[in-house]
Structures are given as structure tokens and as C-alpha cells.
Amino acid sequence: MATVPDDFQFSQGSLQDYVDCRRRFQLRYLLELAWPAIQVEPAEEQEMHGRQGELFHRMVEQHQRGIPPARLSSMAQAVDLQQGDTRLSAWWDNYLRFSPEGLPRERHPEITLSVAFAGHRLVAKFDLLATEPGRRAVIVDWKTWRARPGRPWLAARLQTRVYRYVLIEGGAALNGGQPWQPEQVEMVYWFADHPDQSERLRYSEQEYGADGQYLAALIAEIRHSGEDEFFLTDDARRCRFCPYRSLCDRGVEAGAADAASLEEVGGAENAPVDWDSAFDFEQVAEIAY
């Protein structure tokens, strides 16, 4: 009997969870188990970072919708004064000075696309889609990570693969009714703490074909997995930042949100923990993008 409901909607977050740890996918999405464990230490610092990240995304969305930047700057200053911290204002100043240049003029902030795929829905929620119908589409994702990951790590993430693929499959309405061609699509990661080091990932026909095959096979594997086939990850380092670690007998204390810890978990590419998809941010006042 299938363990995944017929109406289950896959996203980059759920697929990344499965790739990182099948057991975490099962606990979070199939059993819907909320486990009261601290994910990162120090917890208060991480919660503040999460709230600031959420506010930053909202400010960028409002600016992309036409709110004057001066009004938003005042809000950032007021929040920083209340919290006794200057991080939000610093991120906002970086955004105003170094946000990606040359983006198409048609802006679609916080837009969600959903397509029928492999017997389910595949969903992508974009921070920003900037389009020029008939010519190009740019996906922009704003990151408030503490560290700046490398290009190979970003290219391999399910967010990159799902977002670009879903835009091709489901974005025709933003292109005069015609599907976008892979070579017309680009994804840009922008880092609030590294504003002059954006990563631009252009798409190709070869990557599009490979992504379609990979995602279809991945979803089929999940659908046909028995209840006893959602195994724990072999990389126990990941468990330090997982709320289910005590349930799985993988430790009790949370990992420290310092540069050394983040790079260690990231592996060879010295990438950070993927704060935006690894955790259930709604439970810790963080935003899930």
C-alpha cells in the first residue's frame, strides 16, 4: 500500500528532506510528527535570525510591489532599535546597493507555480520572478544564510532543479501562453551577508531533460517505498541540526550555529546548513523559502 497520499504535493523542501534523510521525510511529511526539540544553539540567536530573515523577505516583496524604499528603511531601523541589533538594516542597505542588476521589468514577487508531475503536484514558491515575455525569465532567491555556499553545491540543490524545471513546465502564462525555453531561464541566488557575490545559474536543454528524469524517478521511489524503507541518513553530522535526532537516537543537544559547524555539515563544498529548507521554520518563527 502506498505510504504517500494521492493528494500529496511535492516541493523542493520535501524532496530535499528525502534526499538528505528518508526518515526525516517520513516523520515530517507522512507521519506529520512535531517533535519539540531545539534545532540550533544558541536558540534565541537563531530565532532572532529567523525573524529578521522573515522581515527581510517581506520588505523585499513590498519594495518589488512598489513601496518606496525610504519607508522600508525606517521600518528596518525601528526593528533594529527594538531588538538591539543592526542586522536587518545592514541586509536592507546591502539589498538597496547590490541587488541584482539588469533584471527584466515585469516583476512577480512571491508567486507560486504548481504543475501536475509524476502522479502528484510539484510546487515551487518563488521569492521573485522577473520576466520579459518572449525573451527571458530570471528566478531570484534572497538568502540570509550566515555563510556563502559554492556554485556546485547550489547547482545540485533541489531548489535549483525544481524551480527552473517548474517554471518551464508551468510558467507559460507569464510568457504570452508559450512555454519558456530552457536557455531563456536563469536562477540567481543573492546573499544578504555577501551582497556582491550573487550566483547566477543559467539553464540548458540538457539540464532540463536531466532534471525531469531525476525528479520523476525520485518521486516514483518515494511513492513505492514501504513504511520500513525510510532509512536514517548515514551522515550523522546532519542529525545535529534535526529536531528528530533524539527520537532517532542520534543525540540530544543541538548543533551550534557557528561558522565551523555550518561548514562541517556542508561537507566538501564548505556549504552552510540549508536553513531555508532543512528546518520547519514555521515552528521556530523562521520563514520557509
> What percent of the chain is modeled with pLDDT above 90?
69
What is the per-residue pLDDT for 250?
81
Q: Is the pLDDT of residue 207 over 70?
A: yes
pLDDT for 271 beyond 80: no
For residue 278, give the CATH number of its domain.
Answer: 3.90.320
> Does residue 4 sit within a domain?
no
The DSSP code for 28 is: I
The CA distance from 166 to 125, in Å, is: 10
CB atoms within 10 A of CB 184: 20
Tell me, yes or no, whether 64 lies in a domain.
yes
In a domain, residue 93? The reply is yes
Q: Is 1 among the domain residues?
A: no
Domain count, the chain: 1
For 48-95, what is each residue's pLDDT tens digit?
Answer: 888 899 999 999 999 999 999 999 999 999 988 888 889 999 999 999
Residue 289 belongs to a domain: no
Is residue 262 predicted with pLDDT exceeding 80? Answer: no
pLDDT value, residue 59: 96
- What mean pLDDT is predicted for residues 92-113? 96
Q: Which domain holds residue 253?
A: 9-224+234-283
The predicted model gives 237-252 an average pLDDT of 82
Q: Transcribe 192-243 into DSSP letters.
A: TTEEEEEEEEE--HHHHHHHHHHHHHHHHHHHT--GGG-PPPS-GGGGGG-T
Residue 229 lies in a domain: no
pLDDT for the residue 253:
62
Question: What average pLDDT does the segment 1-28 reach?
Answer: 92
pTM of the full structure: 0.86
Q: State yes or no: pLDDT of 251 exceeds 90.
A: no
Q: Establish if 22 belongs to a structural domain.
A: yes
> Mean per-residue pLDDT for 242-271?
59
Q: Cβ–Cβ contacts within 10 Å for residue 169, how many?
A: 19
Q: pLDDT tens digits for 138-166?
A: 999 999 988 899 999 999 999 999 999 99
170 within domain boundaries? yes
Q: With left for phi above 0 and alpha for psi between -120 and 50, is residue 234 left, alpha or beta?
A: alpha
pLDDT band at 269 (very low <50, low <70, confident <90, very high): very low
pLDDT of residue 71: 94
